[in-house]
Copies of this chain bind each other. A is one copy, B any other.
Amino acid sequence: MGGNLKSVARAAGVSLATASRVLSGSTYSVSAELRARVLAVAEELDYVPNAQARALISGSTRTVGMLVGDVGDPYFHAMIHGVHEVAAQESCLVTVMSTGRDPERELASFRELQSHGATIVIVAGSGVNDPAYQAGLEVRIRSQGRTGRTVLMGRHELDETLEAIHVEVDNVDAGRVLGRHLAEHGHRRVGVLSGSSIVSSTSDRIAGLAEGLGVAPEVVEVPQTRDGGYAGTGTLLRREPGITAIVGTADQMAIGALSYCADHDIGVPDELSVAGCNDIWVCRDLTPGLTTVHMPLEEMGAAALRLALGSDPGCRQSFPVQLVVRGSTGPAPERDQG
C-alpha cells in the first residue's frame, strides 16, 4: 500500500535505518549485499521518498519561493525565466506566487512561502511606499533570516542592518535617459502610460523621465497590460491633444499605444513618438521597432538566485540600464503653438 520507506525496508528484510542509509545517499557504510537488495526493492516498488519528512529533519528544502506582481506580465515573466535557469542547474524547485501588486497580499504570500519551507524567498515586485508594508516586510525578512535568505529586487527603503540580498537596477536612470532622448528630439509635452504608481519602480521611472525631460509629463494610470496601454493612449490624446510623445512605464503598454496609433492612422514617429521600458523580446520585431530602455531582467533573476545560494548573506548587485533607440521615436513634429 504505502510506498514508504518502511515498506521498502520490510520487503528487503532490513531495518528502517539501513534502508534509509542506502536510499538517502548517506556515507554510512552498508554491505554490498544489503545495499543491492534495498535498491532492487525500491526500484520494484517504485519508492518515492517523502521530501516533507526529509525537510522536517534537515530543516531545509531546496525550494525557492518567488513573489511577483503578476505572473502574466512579461516583465516578471523574464525574471522568472532567469530564476528557473539557475534553479534547474542547482536542482531547486521554484514556487511562484502572484500578489496582484497588493502589498498586504505580498506579505501574506511571503508568509505562506516560508510556511512551506522556502529556504530562499525572492521578492520581485519592487517596494511600495507604505510604512505598514515596510514594517511588515522587515518582520518577514528577519524571520526568514533565521533559516534562509531573502532577495529583494528593486528599490526598498528598509533598515540597512537587515540581512537581505539586493538586486537592483536604476529605474530613475532608466526614465532619465529616455527623457533626455526625447528632449533632444524636441519633445516637451509628453504623456505617460503608468502602471500602478504605488510601486517604486514605476514612480522612479516617472521621476527620472521628468528629470531627463526637464518638465513634468502628463501621467495617466492604467492597467499594466497591452490593453491598458491601448485605452490609455486614447485617454491621453483626448485629454492633451498637444502631446508629441508617449512613454509606457512598461513595454506592453507602449505596444498598446503603437497599436492604437496604427488603428487611428497616427504616424509613428512622424506625428507621435512612442517609447517603452524593459526591452522585452518582442520590441525589436514590431514595426516600427519600439524605442525602450533595456533591462537585463533574465540576468537579474539568475543573479538573484545565484547570490542567494552563495555564501554572502548580505550583499548588493546593481545592473545597468541602456537606452535602445529604434524606429518608434523621432523628432517632435512642428506645432502651431510650442
B255 touches A51 (CB 8 A): no
Contact mask A94-119 → B, CB, 8 Å, 1/0?
11111010000000000111111100
Q: Shortest Cβ distance from A97 into chain B, in angstroms?
A: 7
Cα separation A285 to B226 with both chains bound (whole Å) = 9
A63 — which chain B residues lie within 8 A by C-beta? 95, 116
Q: How large is the interface on A (under 10, 10 to 19, 20 to 34, 35 or more residues)?
A: 35 or more
Task: Report Cα–Cα, A262/B287, bound state, in Å.
Answer: 9
Q: Provided the pairs A93-B95, A95-B95, A285-B259 are in contact, do residues A116 and B52 lie with their beta carbons within 8 angstroms?
A: yes
Contact of A71 among B49, B80, B100, B143 (CB under 8 A): B80
Of the candidate stretches A26-34, A53-61, A196-204, A317-325, the one touching chain B is A53-61
A54-86 vs B, Cβ < 8 Å mask (1 yes, 0 no): 011000010100000001100001001100100
Contact of A77 among B77, B88, B282 (CB under 8 A): B77
Q: Is A270 an interface residue (CB 8 A)?
A: no
Residue of B nearest to A280 (CB): B282
Smallest CB-CB separation from A230: which chain B residue? B285
Question: Shortest beta-carbon distance, A58 to chain B, in Å?
Answer: 10
Interface positions, chain A 165-188, Cβ under 8 Å from B, are none
Residues of chain B lying within 8 A (CB to CB) of residue A240: none
Of residues 113 to 135 in A, which have CB atoms within 8 Å of B's CB atoms?
A: 113-117
In the bound complex, what is the Cα–Cα distance between A288 and B143 (angstroms)?
53
Q: How far is the CA of A140 from the CA of B31 in the complex (A)?
A: 30
Task: Look across to chain B and name the residue whose beta carbon is closest to the beta carbon of A143.
Answer: B46
A-B pairs with lowest CB-CB distance, top 5: A287-B287, A72-B81, A51-B116, A71-B84, A52-B52
With A50-B117, A56-B56 known, 5 other A-B pairs at CB within 8 A are A52-B55, A77-B77, A93-B116, A226-B281, A282-B282
